[in-house]
Structure 1
Amino acid sequence: MILKKYYIYGALCLAVYSCASRQEINYMKDIENIALDNSIKNSRSTLQPGDQLVIRVSAKDLDVVKPFNQNYSSTATVAQYSIASGNTQFQPVPTSGPTYVVDTDGNIDFPQIGLVDTKGENLETLKTKLAGLISTYVKSPVVDVKLINFKVSVLGEVAKPGTYVIPDGNTTLLQTLGLAGDLTAFGVRNNILIIRNVDGKFSQQRVDITSAQFINSPYYYLKQNDMIYVQPNTVKEKSARVDPNTGLYISVASVIASIALGVLALTRN
């Protein structure tokens, strides 16, 4: 009888151990109550040192803008989208035009104009700025600026952790998590860490994607070199600390207990 009680107790413990704690897995439950005004203001990333920009200048007379398109190459190809390490799919996107790298002081060296300060500028404002500078020499110039090395990293409890290059330099937290295959069942959805480096200053923010409030956060739209970390829940942390053979030990113990109960029943008969 005592052995039977121990067996029942062990079975109950095993059942409790195998049950994962409940957690909220729905995203943005209160989306209908959230105004999206602030998210639009946060959608533009300011340029950072190390950014690679393809800048093309055009006008009605293309010969007039040739001095502003030095080192032009019509065959250049840039891999603007990548899959995380362990996956081999790449989608090279043809691009043409000279490439400029933002230096450590936040400048680019532009033909005929010289150093152009990009600090505090995003792609749209830099287009306007360059068009204004070039209009001194060319009537109604059209400037196109593309950021070709915008990348973010996703680590932790996602299906495909890795570093992702974003084609247009504009992505949200949810879009990037989608690229990483979404969170696993063990990922904590209400405490995602985002680490950001802007102008050499690091900041961090915890984000709850089960609430739509984060749409108006400065961390909804990601910026260059952002790092996202999805921490595991307590069930995953506990399982990582448990001997990997624990399941085997429990199974063996259960078999032994069953045999012992069988023997005990036979001896009673």
Structure 2
Amino acid sequence: MKLLKQAVYLLTALLLISSCNSGKKLILLQDQQADALNQQNELIKSFTLKEADYLIKEEDRMMINIFSMTEERFNFLQDRPDVEVTVDSKGQIDLPVIGLVKVSGLTIANAEKKIKTAATDYLKNPRIAIKLLNFNYTVIGEVGRQGTINALDPKINVLEAIGQAGGFTEFADRGNVRLIRSENGKANIYQLNVLEDNLLLSEKFFLQPNDVILVNPTKKRTTNQERLSTISIILSIVTSLSFVLLRFNN
């Protein structure tokens, strides 16, 4: 019986060890020198982010809000301040009364300025706000909620996107995140390491519409699962033998 108890204790210890992960493989945006300083509430490091402003392209769908101080009887948009439009093959959108405005190749901010200029002929002090409706990205693999998500802000980054997908699972390989992006008719795959803080300097830190983020599992996942399965079987056998021996001794 003593040997059986020792076996149970040993297997339990193995079970706990096999489920442990190194802290260094879990902490995001690490900086070894700064971590060693361990300074609280102080600026550790500063990065200049390479924000890639999205350029409007053909077939983009947008919701355009046009607000004006023009008196209601002269304001042709009072009943429809929000206009949903699609960029046509010539890169233009068709707005009520204002007509065609070319916006392809422009950033959201520059498109708002251009529409504002065009609307000034009809409205007093118009204010324009554009929301891109087809800025979707997909997150699959070792995250809490896999799926396709519509970005509310076109300046969303990889970490925010993974957070929106429920964050990493315990088996996520944070040093081997893949970004799949469609560029010039090709599907390009980029490897991102979110364990290192220089990720913030990458041009791939910010997403583009239709990006796919693939979070791979760690290499230990399969090994751990097989080990846990084996340990569970052995524990079941040991437990069964313990009951048999107890009954036999009684």
Q: Quick one: distance in 2 between partners of 1:107 and 1:235?
A: 52
Distance 1:117 1:254, change over 3 A: farther
Deviation for aligned residue 1:216: 2.2
1:132 to 107, 110, 117: 117
Aligned CA-pair RMSD = 3.8
Deviation for aligned residue 1:114: 4.5
Structure 2 unaligned spans of 5+: 35-42
Deviation for aligned residue 1:197: 2.6
Deviation for aligned residue 1:29: 2.2
Q: Quick one: distance in 1 between partners of 2:184 and 2:70?
A: 38
Q: Determine if the alignment matches structure 1 residue 249 to structure 2 residue 233.
A: yes
Contact 1:100/1:108 (8 A) holds in 2: yes
1:154-212 Cα shifts (integer Å, max 9, x gaps)? 11111122222222333222222222221011101112111123564433321111212
Residue aligning to 2:39: none
Contact 1:48/1:224 (8 A) holds in 2: no
Letter in 2 for 1:172: N
Mapping for residues 7-22 of structure 1, pairs under 5 Å: 15=14, 18-20=18-20, 22=22
Q: Quick one: distance in 2 between partners of 1:38 and 1:243?
A: 43
Deviation for aligned residue 1:254: 4.2
SS class of match (1:120): coil
Residue aligning to 2:222: 237
2:105 to 108, 115, 120: 120
Mapping for residues 178-197 of structure 1, pairs under 5 Å: 178-197=163-182
Distance 1:120 1:212, change over 3 A: farther
Mapping for residues 169-180 of structure 1, pairs under 5 Å: 169-180=154-165
Q: Quick one: distance in 2 between partners of 1:156 and 1:162?
A: 10
Letter in 1 for 2:56: L
Q: Quick one: distance in 2 between partners of 1:27 and 1:101?
A: 39
Distance 1:48 1:201, change over 3 A: farther
SS class of match (2:110): helix
Q: Quick one: distance in 2 between partners of 1:130 and 1:121?
A: 11
* Count of matched residue positions in the alignment of Structure 1 and Structure 2: 228
Q: Determine if the alignment matches structure 1 residue 218 to structure 2 residue 219.
A: no
Distance 1:97 1:19, change over 3 A: closer
1:197-253 Cα shifts (integer Å, max 9, x gaps)? 35644333211112121112222222222211110001223356x499534432245
TM-score under structure 2 length normalisation: 0.71
Q: Quick one: distance in 1 between partners of 2:47 and 2:179?
A: 21
Bigger shift: residues 160-169 or 242-251:
242-251
Letter in 1 for 2:18: S
Contact 2:70/2:124 (8 A) holds in 1: no
Residue aligning to 1:102: 87
Structure 1 unaligned spans of 5+: 74-95
Q: Quick one: distance in 2 between partners of 1:36 and 1:125?
A: 26
Residue aligning to 1:52: 61
Q: Quick one: distance in 2 between partners of 1:201 and 1:137?
A: 43
Letter in 2 for 1:51: D
Deviation for aligned residue 1:139: 6.0
Contact 2:19/2:224 (8 A) holds in 1: no
Distance 1:217 1:118, change over 3 A: farther
Distance 1:102 1:200, change over 3 A: farther
